[in-house]
Amino acid sequence: MHRSRTVRVPASSANLGPGFDVMGAALDLHMEVDVVETGQFAVHTDLKIARDRRNLIVRGFQALAPADGFEFTIRSDIPLSGGLGTSAAAIVAGLVAADSIFELGADVLGEATKIEGHPDNVAAALLGGFVLCVDGHAERFEPPPGLECLLVVPEQAVRTAKAREALPSRIPMSDAVFNIAHASMLVLGLARGDLGLVARGLGDRLHQPRRAHLYPRSWELVQEAKGLGALGATISGAGPTVLVWCDMASTGAVVERLHERADGWADVHRVPFSAAGAEVRF
């Protein structure tokens, strides 16, 4: 009997403005992987990613079990240009597949965080919805009704390592206080389903302004978002993708304005937040 699994994992947006390395949300774009025991190792995909054991899905799988004898077929509609948790989705997919096939009951979040280096994307990809990552654990809560998001995905990518290098090791106390206040407001708004509080909670002084030189057009758009009719906007993960937060009633009008603003340098996608995390089919 050949063992096989199909794993479906959502994209994710990390940081969500003030919640640097703490907050994340799953998005309704997916990576899907078929893992089949055939007796030989292979990776099949049309994506521009590694097809050997450096592949992040294979690395995730191998963290729990040997990949020898398994073939991996990968499909994905997650844009690769940065900031949408592609690497987290891949790591989670590999771990979840191995955990399911070998019935391990592994600490998938812990293993994924070890490989990825930070928990926000992997927690959102694994659990779905919105997540808060604290002390190695993740708390999940449902996306509030009426909240929608739009993604503005630039053609030019930004390397995550470069984005990390742009951050100082120390920050002013006033910036730390600003972020604690806004992250608290954002969580309260999401938990209550109060989109007015969500709009007030999207401010950040820790990472986005300090990385603005890496994605000047994206940063400009973040600052303009409220003027375009959105609740606000945040840089998704390390960028350059912009997550534009919308009240469902105004999304249509905001989409049109964003298409004009993004013309020639970025694509606009209407993508719901996803309540579902990683799913396994036999």
Token duo for residue 48: 């521009």
Q: 215-246 pLDDT, tens per residue?
A: 999 999 999 999 999 999 999 999 999 999 99
Please tell me the total number of residues recorded for the chain in this structure. Answer: 282
Q: 36-94 pLDDT, tens per residue?
A: 999 999 999 999 999 999 999 999 999 999 999 999 999 999 988 779 999 999 999 99
Give me the residue spans of the domains in the chain: 4-142+274-281, 147-270
> How would you classify the pairing of strands 279-281 and 4-14?
antiparallel
CA distance linking residue 42 with residue 44, whole number of Å: 7
Q: 168-182 pLDDT, tens per residue?
A: 999 999 999 999 999
Confirm if 138 and 119 have CB atoms less than 8 A apart: yes
- Averaged pLDDT, 246-273: 96
What are 137's strand-pairing partners? 134
Q: 174-216 pLDDT, tens per residue?
A: 999 999 999 999 999 999 999 999 999 999 999 999 999 999 9
In percent, the amount of the chain with pLDDT more than 70 equals 100
The full 3-state SS of the chain, as one line of letters, equals CCCEEEEEEEEEEECCCCCCCCEEEEEEEEEEEEEEECCCCEEEECCCCCCCCCCHHHHHHHCCCCCCCEEEEEEECCCCCCCCCHHHHHHHHHHHHHHHHCCCCCCHHHHHHHHHCCCHHHHHHHHCCEEEEECCEEEEECCCCCEEEEEEEECCCCCHHHHHHCCCCCCCHHHHHHHHHHHHHHHHHHHHCCHHHHHHCCCCCCCHHHHHHHCHHHHHHHHHHHHHCCCEEEECCCCCCEEEEEEHHHHHHHHHHHHHHHCCCEEEEECCECCCCCEEEC
Is 90 exceeded by the pLDDT of residue 158? no
What are 273's strand-pairing partners? 27
What are the phi and psi torsion angles at 44 (to 5°)? -115, 125
- Averaged pLDDT, 126-149: 96
Is 80 exceeded by the pLDDT of residue 130? yes
* From the candidate CATH numbers 3.30.56.10, 3.30.70.890, 3.40.190.290, 3.40.50.970, the one assigned to the domain spanning 147-270: 3.30.70.890
Is 80 exceeded by the pLDDT of residue 273? yes
Is 70 exceeded by the pLDDT of residue 19? yes
Residue reference for tokens 């007796």: 39
pLDDT band at 138 (very low <50, low <70, confident <90, very high): very high
* From the candidate CATH numbers 3.30.930.10, 1.10.10.10, 3.30.230.10, 3.90.850.10, the one assigned to the domain spanning 4-142+274-281: 3.30.230.10
pLDDT band at 1 (very low <50, low <70, confident <90, very high): low
The full 3-state SS of 137-198, as one line of letters, equals EEEEECCCCCEEEEEEEECCCCCHHHHHHCCCCCCCHHHHHHHHHHHHHHHHHHHHCCHHHH
Structure pTM?
0.95
